[in-house]
Structure 1
Amino acid sequence: MSNTVATPTLTPTESATEHTGQQGRLLVQGEDRPGVVAAVARVLTEAGANIVALDQYSTGVRGGRFFQRTVFELPGLNAVRPQLEERLDREVRDAFGQDWQLTEAATRKRVAILASKTDHCLLDLLWRRQRGELNVDIEMVISNHPDLADRVRAFGVPYFYVPVQNGDKDAAEQEHLRLLHGNVDFVVLARYMQIISSDFITSVDVPIINIHHSFLPAFIGAGPYRKAKERGVKLIGATAHYVTEDLDEGPIIEQDVARVTHADTATDLQRRGADVERAVLSRAVAWHADDRVIRDGNSTIVFAS
């Protein structure tokens, strides 16, 4: 059912802040209690780590939720990781009831991009990765149209054309799952014009990030920029969020707006909206890839500074 375009492998441009094999990122969240920060610092310090960045946030001193992101340098992190995780379990999770997540900065997250015919968000992500601005490996692009294959081929990324044949979205999603299984750490919907089913969200079992336009009031259906022009909107924007079973209501990662006037045509609005969508989606992907986002129910804590 899928058609892949064979492409040469290109050597990606390394980021200006190249990660060594000894930098780790630790995310911690749970009930705010005295001693959590000290416990995390003690575990890392006694393991021989040097803490190079630390951000934390609490929703309230009494009965609030606690969130922390710590970046540290630890020589031989990969080798000592099992012992470090054992201590985090014992001295952070068991002693203080905190959930934690440890990642190695040198291991880039693998991402798949789903797209349709609209190319601005897709090509922007590919370009930023090629320039080293995104700390990810783009493993594949999957589309329900063949139109963008040549442009994706230029970046050395495999392109899989998976059409929805005879309205059978379930068969297409099963092919998506086959391609994605075990190959990616998260998925990005770069203006993918298909509704993702609840079964797909459950089965793919990795985070999914979506981008869409944001208007006040909301204009659903076809031609949102024409409708926005007709209503005389003064702000257009975009929202990047995690995908949940509730359509377009998942935890928000990033948003932005651009001011427009009565003189802007519907085409102007669409062009400026595309600019905002590119910027918002790229920031959301970068922050997720760098472990700067902690999900808390239907909200997020984003350590973006």
Structure 2
Amino acid sequence: MANCSKVTKFLLEGFANGRELRVLQVVSFLLIYLATLLGNLLIIAATTFDQSLHTPMYFFIRNLSILDMCFVSVTVPNACVNSLTDNRVISVAGCATQVYLVIYCVYVELLFLTVMACDRYVAICQPLHYPVIMNHQFCVWTTLDSLLSGLIYAGVHTGNTFRLSFCQSNVVHQFFCDIPSLQRLSCCNTFISFLLILMSAIMVCGGCFTFIAMSYIQILSTVLKFPTRERGKAFSTCVPHITVVCVFLTSLIYVYLKPSVTSSMIQDMILSVLYTIVPPFLNPIIYSLRNKQVKKAVSKIILRKCYSGK
């Protein structure tokens, strides 16, 4: 503690040290990033301009696409620039901003996934009450509640992290600033900080997971009563959502709640990719691009652009 000095900047790690491997990483990240932006932009355009897609389900899908574009933009562009320039420096203010935005996007994404599970439950288990329960006012207020509560949630965790003293090292063993990596750099007791994460994970992640699980138990019991021909259609709208929720929550919980010395840096990075980059990339595909209505709407938009270009 006698040799401690105040940290004024952090150094982010990369996936590889060699120039060729860094370029390969940048190309991979950039392709995923551009595909994510394109896919989500198409979903936003389709659900905005096609009147037949102005339903609660597509309202939430559009919001999720907007959020995913912001989510992936928080980490990927900066990681690509750092790898290309081999400049890993990030200021304390920049690191705090990145932590805040990552937590905010993760929190809001989790709430959106939960509300979408509610939408599927009402649509399948209570179809006659669907227009009454999933009305426009409900959709708007749940979205606003998610966005506004996320500001407070992210602020609490960011402030709690950066009240710590950093004096052991300024090398963040991650390609972006996140709480677990920063806690390992602290020279003071991080028990209170970890306890806050644990309690919030139990309340938020545990609560959302419980609600989603209960919703799908009810959905499963209802679908099994359907005629055989209708079961496939019902399951096709649920299985992709369950897949994304499982990957998102499993990687998120492992990264944030595991003991700080039980895994390698590369393993932590890969798991971080699973909840920061993979869901925004896959969501347009599994939620919408497999849907015939959305495919038709996207085709109309592309053809309209082609004709207008000529």
TM-score, structure 1 length as denominator?
0.21
TM-score w.r.t. length of structure 2: 0.21
Higher relative CO (Cα under 8 Å, sequence separation at least 6) belongs to 2
Greater strand content? 1
Which structure: greater helix fraction? 2
